[in-house]
Amino acid sequence: EQQRVAIARALVRRPALILADEPTGALDVETGAAVMALLDNIATESAAALVTITHDLHVAARARRHLRLADGVLSPVDLDRAFADTALGAVSA
């Protein structure tokens, strides 16, 4: 509930860009999904860009574009490959 209140406060002014740093990090799966749905809906309704920083591939899967920041370099990510590598134990944080 606190997470939702914080989101509501931040979005009162209808920003053009929403930055969400680990928005589901301290939440259970169900609440995290609800928070992400809320962010998605608000971004869509207000025509805002939603940029989510996350270590959770399931949260990342909601996005249309995926980038990785490693050693100061931003590069595109093939999320299907990342999921496959995770299943094989090849991805590390």
Domain-wise residue ranges, the chain: 2-87
Tokens, residue 87: 């299943």
pLDDT at 86: 59
What tens digit of pLDDT does each residue of 42-66 get?
899 889 999 999 988 888 888 888 8
Q: Rounded mean pLDDT of 6-34?
A: 87
- pTM of the model as a whole: 0.72
Label residue 16 by pLDDT band (50, 70, 90). very high
**What homologous superfamily does CATH list for 2-87?**
P-loop containing nucleotide triphosphate hydrolases (3.40.50.300)
Using alpha carbons, select from 19, 21, 23 the residue that is nearest to residue 49: 19
pLDDT at 93: 46
Using alpha carbons, select from 69, 58, 17, 14 the residue that is nearest to residue 35: 58
